[in-house]
A and B are shown apart, each in its own frame.
Chain A
Amino acid sequence: MKISDRLAYGILKRYGIETARYAFVKDRTHAERASKKLSFPLVLKIDSPEIIHKSDSGCVQVAFSENDLGEKFKLIVKNAEKLTKKIYGVILQERIDGKEMMIGSKVDEQFGPVICFGLGGIFVEALHDVSFRLIPLEKRDAVYMIKDSGAYDVLRSRGESNINAIVDTLLKVSRLIEKEGIRELDINPLMVNEKGAFAVDVRIIK
């Protein structure tokens, strides 16, 4: 069962995994108030356990300014209500530029908890460029799993600093999985830029 995004972001935070700045809101007024602490453009995402593929169903919207925030809020809730009544709220999130990577985890029948890293985005299944390791991860494992994936060539042009940020994030996710007993996790995309690595979307299945 997918846990609420609000809780999922909370878990990431507890383990020191950086995320795009966000606020969790229940209604339109709440959204308008919360948006003042964030900078536009903002991405709106439905938080519902029933909606797994948000972008396919109009449950991700972008508000470019305060002026269209209300309208986009209305639209996203309307789209979500077509699918389910179970809606926890909406996540307002700052947009981050960078290279789209992913970190994931699952419990394998033969090996127990494993972690993966690779090129992210909505085409991950088509790209099929991820490398796996068993949890717990050591630093050296994290370095080599990045080097083993095709993402390494994409990252190399940006220098060592963002690779270190990914290594750091991988080690934190490894610890998180070990401690929290999570069945499946996707951080996709993990946006990587010169400032670091930021979880932009997370999905946790308990």
Chain B
Amino acid sequence: MKLPDKASALQQGVIIFVFLAVLTALEFLIAVAIETIALLAVVAVMKVGLVAYYYMHIHKLGEDAGEDRHSVAYRTATSRLGLWLFLLSDSFVFGGLAVARFNLLGFTRPHLSQVLGLAVTSILLLSSFFMNRAEASMAHDDRKGFGIGMVVTLMLGIAFVAGVLGVEWPTAIAEGVSPSASAGGAIFFMMTGMHALHVITGLVLLGIVWRNGSRGLYSADRHWAVEAAAVYWHFVDVVWIFFYPALYLVGRVA
């Protein structure tokens, strides 16, 4: 397989990010202007499609890795399948939480600040962009680009966790949306909490990969760990692409 050259790989990342940003803005406007759930669902599915194909490279699952069971390519392909199976499994937790949310709240939403929601969403989306840059750089042996991408991703990830746990949670409680007050509050804290737990796990993985990467353990040919951390990080973003409209945009305030 021929890799695209580095400039066009990075350029593709930028284009996809612009699409994602426009869709996110559009989503926000749809929610504020017209209350329609179907459109929000369409936008979310489009965003997930873009992330899954261009940032998570789901198409690599179908690539031929040859016949030699002991080759790096074959073993990487097996690991890739394992990672995607894990993500499939994990998505059932988030799916279950989403079902619980609609069962408990119907088409109403908790009383939350939509602007704050948009802010943390943008931070996470931006981190996905830089994660993609870091991975693309490593795929072309650009250690410096990799380092910068990883550091920015890590910082944005920490900012996201701080934003949700440190700003959003106290704000929500002050507004009367608390874990013990009502089932609606409980499911809000459960969804954001479970997601934040995954973001924190992702940060630990990114930290490990960044450290090992800066010690020169990966190369353009062998950087499965970088790819795995990136796919996981984008998956966490994918979950938020559904959770954000489900919590902040859908329906009227309860």
Q: Do A and B bind each other?
A: no
